[in-house]
Amino acid sequence: MQCSRLSQTDFDRLTLGAKVLEADSHGAKVYLLGDGNIFKVFRRKRLISSALLRPYSQRFIDNAMRLAELGFPTLEVISHHKLPLPGRTAVLYRPLPGETLLRLSRDAGFSWDDHLPQLIELIRRMHRSGIYFRSLHLGNVVQTPEGPLGLIDVADMRFLRGPLPVRMVRRNIQHMARYIEREEQARQFPLAQFQAALANG
């Protein structure tokens, strides 16, 4: 997908009235636009880095396209832009319809008995497909209206030619476990059952 330059005027027009979903000390990072689409800003963190040749926004786009090719529900990229500020690019995309498992898990009456088998099967399928998702956590897994689970925030991802080796599977499970503990989900989430199921393939 071609990366087009977005002027400051066009940027201001696009984000006018948008809801900021995520920000850091450098400013807004993710905007929810009035039409329901998402505008995500990427910043190169170091002056000299691999992002000079392949920006994080391009990785985000490539990963979303690869996931779709493999049959995993994910976001749909609309356009790719270079922004006026040095080292900044952005992606406009249609979000994946549905709710994250993190948000659903906070609803009254939610039970992991109804969702854990599907989550385990999604992650098994990812690992068999050679997908290593460093940012794998409940906030990046979406329950779609059609039923299947999908993936979002996909910039931090690698695709191997074959299934993930055991050490990478273990590392991915550890990332997920640390996130669950950090988000204070450990008492609710059946972590031991989750880890045992994935460790056994």
Written as one letter, the residue type at 162 is G
In this prediction, residue 181 carries a pLDDT of 82
Fold of 3-94: Phosphorylase Kinase; domain 1 (3.30.200)
For residue 2, the model assigns a pLDDT of 87
Query: Degrees (nearest 5) of the Cα angle 24, 139, 104?
Result: 130
Low-confidence ranges of the chain (pLDDT < 70): 45-54, 184-187, 201
pTM above the 0.85 mark?
yes
DSSP state of 162: S
Tally of CB atoms within 10 A around 51: 18
Q: What angle do CA 31, 34, 37 make, to 5 degrees?
A: 60
The pLDDT of residue 46 is 54
For 127-160, letters b (16+ CB in 10 Å) and e give: bebbbbbeebbbebbbbeeeeebbbbbbbebeee
State in words which class domain 99-199 has.
mainly alpha
Query: Which residues belong to CATH 1.10.510.10 in the chain?
Result: 99-199
Residue intervals of the chain classified under CATH 3.30.200.20 are 3-94
